[in-house]
Structure 1
Amino acid sequence: MNHINPLSKQKKITNIILCILFIIFAILQLNDPDGILWFAIYFIVAIICIYNNFKPIPRLFLVVTIVVLLAYAIFHFSLFIDYLKTENKEEIFGEMVYEKPYLEGTREFIGLLIAAFGVIYQLKIRKN
């Protein structure tokens, strides 16, 4: 029996784009003090996106990955709220300022949400 992944061409192209984006995110993390952790997070999501083009990923694995990403995001939520209370919102695009931990925490919170949505997309397009 021929085991062909039933994903449409459009979904496969979307997964290729997501994989490339998450690899770029992973590489950009390497200059951070905790870069290995963030590289691993984004790289794993990139692998999930591309692997799903060839073979369906078990639903339980996707759900657990989403839960782990969102649980880790919760640890950064209070810093995100602190950022929302600031007046100078464009600081998020600047360099890390150690006196303002909410900047890095907000970046990490948003990054984890983006990663979770990448995996949620894999769950959404999954057949069965």
Structure 2
Amino acid sequence: MKYIEKATHLLFTLCLLAFAALQFNDPDPMTWILFYVICAAVPALALVNRPMDSVFWIALIVCGIALAIYASGAYNYYLHRNEEPLMQSMNPEKPYIEEAREFLGALIATVFVVISHVLARYRKK
């Protein structure tokens, strides 16, 4: 179980750092790079057996804010999902497509943060 847990933390850390690296071509790269680096800190700290509740709560709050900001865009995309593919170039006339992608990225990050925290807490007991 220990190796599976470590592998999970490593995978989540690497994925979130890769997500951060992919943001360099985004219109607002520093916001999203910082977001993903904060989220990557949770599994990274768990990987080295130093989970910190304060880092988890900061990451969870940041994730919640991102999800709240982009929820309306994700909902608008949901209403147009049969007409618009999610993977297309950015279009200023359809901002909900980019907002839906940002919402999904924040949702994935939230799942990674919560799973890493739960695994780290379970291990402590």
The two structures have a TM-score, normalised by structure 2, of 0.86
Q: Distance in 2 between matches of 1:58 and 1:50?
A: 11
> How far apart are 1:110 and its partner, in Å?
0.8
Q: What residue ranges of structure 2 are gaps of 5+ in the alignment?
A: none
C-alpha RMSD of matched pairs (Å): 1.7
1:76 maps to what in 2? 70
Once structures 1 and 2 are overlaid, which stretch shifts more, 48-57 or 25-34?
Answer: 48-57
Matches within 5 A, 1:1-128: 8-86=2-80, 87-90=82-85, 92-126=86-120, 127-128=124-125
- Supply the distance in 2 between the matched residues of 1:32 and 1:60 (Cα, whole angstroms): 29
How many residues matched?
Answer: 121
Point out the structure with max Rg over C-alpha.
1
List alignment gaps of at least 5 residues for structure 1.
1-6
Q: Which has the higher helix share?
A: 2
Q: Percent identity among equivalent residues?
A: 26
Give TM-score scaled by structure 1 length.
Answer: 0.85
Moved more, 46-55 or 72-81: 46-55
- TM-superposed CA distance for 1:60, in Å, is 4.0
